[in-house]
Amino acid sequence: MKVLITGASGQVGGALQRTAPEGVRISAIDAAHCDLADREALRTVIASERPDILINAAAYTAVDKAESEEVLARAVNADAVGVMVEELGRVGGKLVHISTDFVFDGSSSRAYRPEDKRAPVSAYGRTKAEGEDHLRASDLLVRTAWVYEAGGANFVRSMIRLMNERDELGIVADQIGSPTLATGLARTIWALVERDADGVFHHSDAGVASWYDFAVAISEEAHALGVIQTQPRVKPITTSEYPTPARRPAFSLLDCSKTREFLADNPVHWRTNLRVMLKEEKALG
């Protein structure tokens, strides 16, 4: 099976390469190889590679910047997906597309199921929802949330840096979801690919957290491992106290029961995976 992975240098793209099953022939590209906003360049790559599977792990993910750059965000998050589907139709390939909890508005009183109505409240969310709309019934859509990985650009590593610099941090406590280790997401994607899954699936780590909860756990676990030397005070604040250009969903927990039942596996709690990541982060120095 020949697999083309976009977003090769990103957290998920890197995890997909590290966890690829035996027998899979991988070609991996990032923005340096092909700008997804360049439709013709993207067509050329797909026509040349002729993959059996294209896993789209690339995206415009600058959530706040997207509010002023929605055209560019749409070109990468939506238009490029349309090009992928068209070209894969020509070469006989399947698209595995990674999307986000931001396609929901955060008003639910329960975890979002794959079939739930989308109602994005930000430019980033809108463009990701538009990207989803290009998929065919035979393609695979995997939504995830709050992704992080050792060595990547993410909340955990930002917290480690700030905790080594400050005595007190104010962290938003009224946005709820679940952190997701990129390695676990990659393994789920490969498992779905191996079973020829299509349609919509969700993956995040088990458990529920606010950003404040996540930060407190990072402080505790990182200090225990010696990744940070002292524990600063972590103070809960509201979203209104930390205004941003883009509106975030207040509740974006994903219901992953369909995925877990389909794969017959057990979810890993986010705090367990946080410890795994922090040990890897410590090893990186």
Q: How far is CA 25 from CA 2, 96, 197, 229, in A?
A: 5, 16, 19, 43
The stretches of the chain forming alpha helices (DSSP H) are 11-18, 39-49, 70-74, 80-91, 123-132, 155-163, 182-194, 211-225, 257-263, 270-284
- 80 exposure class (CB count in 10 Å sphere: 0-12, 13-18, 19+): buried
- 238 exposure class (CB count in 10 Å sphere: 0-12, 13-18, 19+): exposed
The active-site residue out of 60, 124, 148, 212 is 124
Residues near 10 by Cβ (< 8 Å), separated by ≥ 6?
Answer: 30, 57, 58, 152
CB 6 within 8 A of CB 35: no
**Nearest-angstrom CA–CA distance, 161 and 236:** 19
Residue 10 structure tokens: 């990103």
**Nearest-angstrom CA–CA distance, 285 and 271:** 21
Find, among 31, 41, 38, the residue nearest to 8 by Cα: 31
CB 61 within 8 A of CB 114: no
Local structure of 193: helix, strand or coil: helix
**Nearest-angstrom CA–CA distance, 183 and 13:** 10
CB 182 within 8 A of CB 15: yes
User: 148 an active-site residue?
Assistant: no
Residues with catalytic roles: 124
